[in-house]
Amino acid sequence: MAGEELTAPYRVASAYESLISEFQRAVEGAGKSLNRLSRPILNGFTQGGDAASAQFAECLYLKNWPCRKLSSQKRLDVVVKVMETLARSDWSLTKSTVYVNYFVVTGGEAELVQSLHYDFVHEGQPDHPYFHVQLSGEMIPEEDLRSVGFVENFKANQLPNHCWVTSRIPTPDMTMASVLYCLVASHCGEGVFREFAKEILSVQERLPTPQFEAMKRSLRKSMTHFKSSHWFAHMGGGME
């Protein structure tokens, strides 16, 4: 039944565990703290929508994240919510959605200042690049925020976050691993990032590989140019 806990192969589950453990070590090495769900990472896998799939879910709270642009009276908090789907036949990655919320906290009140999510679906979606990021005004559900220790009140009477730009911007494979990698690079300092990048190499080799066959075929036909059309290869139009 969907949502029931299941045991993923140790090679897969331990890769997720190692990734998040190395990320936590990098965050703590930068003098910051990481809150996550209380359950063990190895228990983060559940039955997917059918017997052939599994899901992995995680939520990470980065409090008082380094940000040079904020005054000392304010702080930046980052919350990351991960939902990934894997094919149980070979434990490849068939879907990944990673939400990243940035909050500026002032005097115990939190204001959502930036929201984005990274998406990938192996068979593609109409009018969507295979891998893409989209800006939005969407806040991670409050239940998820509270589950990782986000206690601040949300700023009252703020204007609606009208995100007029709805373009989905093609990206490389920005699944959970890539998003965490970029967060360390952007915020934790060069020394911490260099160590994290070195330690994570062996973990990356063990993480599930995304399925995107149509895009691979498209790229093989035009190896010298990376055109936007490659990211829409699932839509047809001769790209395959």
CA 129 to chain centre: 17
Phi-psi region of 197 (alpha: psi -120 to 50; beta: other; left: phi over 0): alpha
One pLDDT digit (tens) per residue for the chain, 240 residues? 667 889 999 999 999 999 999 999 999 999 999 999 989 999 999 999 899 999 999 999 999 988 878 888 899 999 999 999 999 999 999 999 999 999 999 988 999 989 999 999 999 988 899 999 998 888 999 999 999 999 999 886 555 656 666 778 999 999 999 999 999 999 999 999 999 999 999 998 899 999 988 888 888 887 667 778 888 888 875 454
Chain position carrying tokens 């007029």: 164
CA 232 to chain centre: 21
Task: Compute φ and ψ for 94, nearest 5 degrees.
Answer: -110, -15
Q: What 3-state DSSP class applies to 126?
A: coil
pLDDT for position 196: 96
Residue 199 to residue 232: CA distance in whole angstroms: 34
